[in-house]
Homo-oligomer: A and B are copies of this chain.
């Protein structure tokens, strides 16, 4: 049962008097439960408890933190249909997606459990003493990683499970030994509360300090209060550029600045070569129609920009892509606000000079359902107009037709930072693929060859994050086991007797 309360260090709490409801976009109506926003006092309690918990949690053996993470995974699965119902009613996403995302969430928790059940994830580094070295002896030095402190995680609107309450940020921070305070996403506060209850049960079952986790309902001010609290030491965020940048600015202005890992917007350019088009135009159109509309286009890796060289095949490809895209059944968006944002950005782009609308889903759509849109523009117009570079969050893609390879490269080099860049080409392509890849890799975090950017594998070699504004710190990934590096810092021990070293540095 969803209570509509905050979860503060293991206890339900609802001291405030500001309430809100979540919204079922499919039914176009509010969900019944009222959620109470946390008061400044409740936020203070959550952070204080997290700080006290940190002193215990950071020193627990990795195997204990691993048991906690595994118990969270089990408790999430035990929520069963109640969780799937909350998820679908608060996001409009289908049950199949809920099940898939739950699997990903559980898988992430378990992969971090595996990671920290041994201590080699800390990148332990050893320098042996050289007492006879001239002119000065060398001391024994051993370096490891220790956690930063309490971490605030902001739930993402588009992934109510995998990037939210017990998502990758929370899993990696807990794995590192950092207590977590989640600011739940107001669009899926019920899903967040259920997951929070699972985390609290797991914490109790595995003997964690109570302050190890809290779940806060609230708006912008609650987020700012959390990010600016002196005992908060890092922030994870997935969402809009405006939101991520605002949090980054607040964190940078603190007396003690703290790192903010904000994974923000991206248009995920896809370069399609003439050779690829001449050989498999239909297949590319079909694959990309699916990728553009996946999850109603609400993936951060959604391909919002297709970049081709204008030639005899381009016109037919654009038409085909538009037909295949509008042929797909329109889907509902996460929330009326998201739908409004989509309409506004889509019309802002398609009304720019030189932009030609090629296809748009036809007929009357139910409220909150999004028409898929394919538009096209010349390379010159795209280069000249930064408004065409903005993300249109939804099932939209702009096909840019460059007049030659030089213009193509100029467009790539002029792009803002991106999460991904994709190259659709023949292996023995007539285009200079090396040059394109070189340009692309300097603007993105992940380069894909003959695939789609949607679908972010959870694995060690994954980089999810890219140059600003794709993320605020391109040196870290938000997905995969390396994402734990965001929440730790190195500490060296010099000339230590073995008995006083942490166990993993005694070797």
Contact = CB atoms under 8 A, between A and B. Distances in A.
B468 A491 contact: no
Contacts of A455: 136
A265 to B, nearest CB: 14
A459 interface: yes
B259 A473 contact: yes
Contacts of A146: 441-442
A437 B500 contact: yes
A251 to B, nearest CB: 9
Contacts of A126: 461
This protein's copies in its complex: 2
A186 interface: no
Interface string A465-503: 101110011111100001001001111111111011000
Given A252-B249, A257-B252, A491 B463 contact: yes
B141 A491 contact: no
A451 B495 contact: yes
Interface string A218-247: 000000000000000000000000000000
A276 interface: no
Contacts of A449: 493-497, 500
A102 B467 CA distance: 36
A338 interface: no
A347 interface: no
A59 B438 contact: yes
A457 B139 contact: yes
Nearest to A445: B491
3 closest A-B pairs by CB: A252-B252, A141-B461, A463-B492
Interface of A: 58-59, 125-127, 136, 138-139, 141-143, 146, 148, 248-249, 252-253, 256-257, 259, 417, 427, 433-434, 437-438, 441-442, 444-451, 455, 457, 459-463, 465, 467-469, 472-477, 482, 485, 488-497, 499-500
A421 to B, nearest CB: 10
A192 B59 CA distance: 46
A289 B499 CA distance: 29
Nearest to A143: B461
B259 A469 contact: no
A233 to B, nearest CB: 9
20 contacts: A126-B461, A139-B451, A141-B461, A146-B442, A148-B474, A148-B475, A256-B417, A257-B468, A259-B475, A434-B500, A445-B490, A446-B493, A447-B494, A449-B496, A462-B492, A475-B485, A475-B488, A475-B490, A476-B490, A477-B490
Contacts of A143: 460-463
A138 B457 contact: yes
A123 to B, nearest CB: 9
A58 B489 CA distance: 27
A455 B455 CA distance: 49
Given A257-B472, A461-B125, A446 B142 contact: no
Interface-central residue, A249, A476, A491, by most chain B CB under 10 Å: A491
Contacts of A59: 438
Contacts of A494: 446-449, 451
Interface centre among A253, A488, A493 (most CB of B within 10 A): A493
B127 A457 contact: yes
Contacts of A497: 427, 449
Given A248-B252, A475-B488, 16 more contacts: A138-B457, A139-B451, A143-B463, A148-B475, A256-B469, A433-B500, A445-B491, A445-B492, A447-B496, A448-B495, A449-B494, A451-B494, A465-B490, A467-B489, A474-B489, A482-B490
Nearest to A54: B442
A266 to B, nearest CB: 14
Nearest to A436: B500
Contacts of A450: 495
Contacts of A472: 257
Contacts of A138: 457, 459
Nearest to A460: B125
Contacts of A474: 148, 489
A501 to B, nearest CB: 9
Nearest to A258: B468
A485 to B, nearest CB: 8
Contacts of A475: 148, 259, 485, 488-490
A135 B164 CA distance: 23
A171 B292 CA distance: 45
A141 B459 contact: yes
